[in-house]
Structure 1
Amino acid sequence: MKILLVLSALLAVSYGREGFGPGEQDWGYVTVRDKAHMFWWLYFTTANVQNVTERPLVIWLQGGPGASSTGYGNFAEIGPLDLDLKLRNHTWVKDVNVLFIDNPVGTGFSYTDSLSALTTTNQQIAEDLVACLEGFYRRHPEFEGRPFYVASESYGGKMATDFALELDKRVQQGQSKANLRAISLIDSWICPICSILWWAPFLYNVGAVDQEGHDIVNVGAQRTKAAIDAGRFEEATDEWGRTEYLIMDVAKNVDFYNILKKIKSTGNSRTLVKPGTDEEISDDEKLDRIMNGPVKETLRLNVTWGKQRGSVFTALRGDFMKPVTHGVEKLLDTTNIKVQVVTGQLDLIVDTPGTVVWVDDLHWSQSNEWKTTPRNALSANGINEGYKKIRGPLSLYWVNRAGHMVPADNPDGMAVILKDLLSN
């Protein structure tokens, strides 16, 4: 009897398997469509609980499109190990179960048997994510029906919006038992042109360009807008890219993800400078070595991480510049899913002014009340880490001392924001 009790106790606290890094994990593939295989990697929470399902599940969706959640979101932002493979103090795994999904198919360790199986629209991405979630539930039924949340960054926010809508539709039709409570859109590509139109004034106001540089960038932004207004979305994507090159020229390689980041200019390339060292290895190179080295070996995967990344972006070239603000409005007015918007003040590519514009311009049932809702301080450990504005199902957070990757740049502020997300 004692042996059976001990065995039962061991089984009660064992949820996954030993993976790469600390804590119990699990990972696997879901064939979401013919020739399309999506990879997920789950970290069970290390919180002091009797059962991990006492804590919610948070799905992390990276941007790009083509950037890997299991890579960037995991090692560069919220996972248990950082890019130097050292323990991260502010890992989300301490508080919640974190599920990283390499999405869309072709991203990270996800892959397609044929390039024709890559997604070309945000709706296709949403449907694949729903299929992946259902496959994950088959592997881990203990999470089905339990509250879960989606945290997304950059283009991941665009994907999260339609994912939430598609999932809610399936739930209403009785096709899914998923219990999605809220989504967090961190520096998200919800209204692309809103961000782009503010590039020039933003750079001018922080001193990164002079009036001449402002005017040059603004011309590129207006060309991008003209292509969008004419419905020429592939052309708009090309103009977006050209405008970024204009910025790199007139602003002398300012970093798009954090305007304060130190960059060493070497011809046409850019190398991040690691303070206090002469090492000039980029974070991208470091991550590639980790993912295609020890991670691939430990998880026993036979897929080259990031191999189809460029193809993923190319396949979505016609969808890249399309806004999903209408989807956000639909979430606010037709579902019970809360929407949290987060913006880092030092981000250029999805700048704060442009984000505030599209949020304030949303047409939903509490639009008028939103305009008069007061903005309050975002405090963490007695420090002002930014500001927040909350009205009904919508919340907006301005985060100080943070760029595009808010969880990495200001983990204390993000911890409070995450707590607010889960409290919904």
Structure 2
Amino acid sequence: MKAVLVTFLCVTAALARKGYGPTEQEWGYVEVREGAHIFWWLQQTSADVDDYTEKPLLIWLQGGPGSSSTGYGNFAELGPLDADLNPRNTSWINFANVLFVDNPVGTGFSYADNIQQLATTNRQIADDFLVLLQGFYEAVPALKSTPLYIFCESYGGKMTAEIALVLDQAIKDGTLDVDLRGVGLGDSWISPIDSVMTWGPYLLSVGAIDQNGYEQIQQAAEATKEAVESGDFTMATNLWAAAEGVVEGVTANIDFYNILTKVYGPWNKNRKLIKPGLRDEVDDKIDVLMNNDVKEALGLDASWGYQSGFVFDALYEDFMKPVTDIVEELLNTTDLNVAVYNGQLDLIVDTPGTVEWVDKLKFEGAEDWKLTNRKPIVVNDVVEGYYKKLGNLGMYWVDRAGHMVPRDNPAAMEFIIEDVASGQWNKK
């Protein structure tokens, strides 16, 4: 770590606590590799405590790859303000400090001097994140002794699994001095092919397709599986995209992130084709907000999101590779609690696919896991889902939620966070 860089971060943190929004804040950049810069933005808790360090630190990592935590995660899901700048009553800052990181390099306000410096593998992302955390704690040393948890969504889960493994090793060898205790893997792209292979059965079971549509999806899914099993992961990504196209075709563009979302038919009233994948209104609001008011308030030079599309391209070959072996390492070689949670209305990472890879994990107690009884998630006398735990593995089925669990079912999400981050893991 360059001494000049660390000094800059400390000065930035000391002078920039007003930030944007109602919380006390700190933010800065860490140069994780030469020419590769990651942006972080800390929102201190609003809980009634004498010192903010009394509450845990939760890191939030978005998916994509290339989706911004400081933008989407913050304003669309769990930050203190929503995209219309209204206070969010269910914000995570009510009970924790939240660190949004635009990860990997090139996402959101993070950037590379040259796009050739973008990460191309999951391990490189994890190694970069270790350097990021070292720089963050140089800037905010008061949080070093605060319990740390990493929560995430979608592709963020794939990154988080390997990040946690790298961080755990760094803690053990003395290159990182923090109190990392667990991870929350939300609707996570851990075993991509298990997701793809269950799209057809899932959609058939909810009545979104008929048998003909099912056969078409399964044919596309099987082709994707063959590419994965042959080790041709670039082709697998191509075929995954093609399989998504088949799903869109036989469902009239069902929403991959929440199957109950109302969508336009193939043609609108002006007979203009509605193409799947269009940005929605919230995305547009966040784009304007981040590139104007937020950018100005934080005194940043980088344009938010201008390299995000390149991030996916750089990870194209890595995209369909599974990291179930990494999750197994977390369970077998660390003391970290691993919480897996999934929204029942998610399609892109559907619950049946997640259950499939979780039940196939190889770890001590794996056979007992399958026989472990689920318990209901009850909040204010309402059943919000189900969960079960064995050892340091937990699985949470979240009702009435799609891909974005913190947004769709904040009550269940808070239950999960409390279960994972309260220190009561083995008592519930």
TM-score normalised by the shorter chain: which range applies?
A: over 0.9
Alignment correspondent of 1:225 = 225
Alignment correspondent of 1:137 = 137
Q: How many aligned positions are there?
A: 404
Distance 1:111 1:42 in 2: 18
Out of 244, 269, 275, the residue aligned to residue 269 of structure 1 is: 275
Distance 2:233 2:277 in 1: 31
Bigger Cα displacement from structure 2, 158-167 vs 258-267: 258-267
Distance 2:263 2:82 in 1: 21
Counting only pairs closer than 5 Å after superposition, residues 119-198 of structure 1 correspond to structure 2 as 119-198=119-198
Aligned partners of 2:54 and 2:146 also within 8 Å: no
Aligned partners of 2:55 and 2:96 also within 8 Å: yes
Where 1:263 maps in the other structure, the secondary structure is coil
Point out where structure 1 has 5 or more consecutive residues left out of the alignment. 1-13, 273-279
* AA matched with 1:153: E
Where 1:101 maps in the other structure, the secondary structure is strand
Distance 1:140 1:394 in 2: 31
TM-score, reference length from structure 2: 0.92
Aligned partners of 2:61 and 2:100 also within 8 Å: yes
Aligned partners of 1:15 and 1:24 also within 8 Å: no
Aligned partners of 1:69 and 1:102 also within 8 Å: yes
Residue-by-residue CA offset, 1:302-359 (whole Å, 9 max, x unaligned): 1111111111000001111011111111101110111000010000000000000101
Within the alignment, does 1:30 sit opposite 2:30 as a pair? Answer: yes
Alignment correspondent of 1:296 = 295
Distance 2:26 2:182 in 1: 24
- Cα distance, 1:271 vs. partner? 8.4
Residue-by-residue CA offset, 1:367-422 (whole Å, 9 max, x unaligned): 01111111110111110001001111000000000000001000111111110011
Distance 1:310 1:174 in 2: 36
Point out where structure 2 has 5 or more consecutive residues left out of the alignment. 1-13, 424-428
Distance 1:370 1:249 in 2: 38
| Segments ≥4 residues shifted beyond 6 Å | none
- Work out the percentage of aligned pairs sharing the same amino acid: 52
- Cα distance, 1:249 vs. partner? 1.0
Distance 1:15 1:367, change over 3 A: farther
* AA matched with 1:396: M
- Cα distance, 1:270 vs. partner? 4.6
- The CA RMSD over aligned residues, in Å, is 1.4
TM-score, reference length from structure 1: 0.93
- Cα distance, 1:290 vs. partner? 1.2
Aligned partners of 1:59 and 1:101 also within 8 Å: yes
Where 1:18 maps in the other structure, the secondary structure is coil
Bigger Cα displacement from structure 2, 181-190 vs 201-210: 201-210
Aligned partners of 1:36 and 1:113 also within 8 Å: yes
Residue-by-residue CA offset, 1:200-233 (whole Å, 9 max, x unaligned): 1111111111111111111111110000000000
- Cα distance, 1:187 vs. partner? 0.2
Aligned partners of 1:57 and 1:148 also within 8 Å: yes
* AA matched with 2:251: A
Distance 1:149 1:245 in 2: 36
Distance 1:201 1:105 in 2: 36
Aligned partners of 1:271 and 1:282 also within 8 Å: no
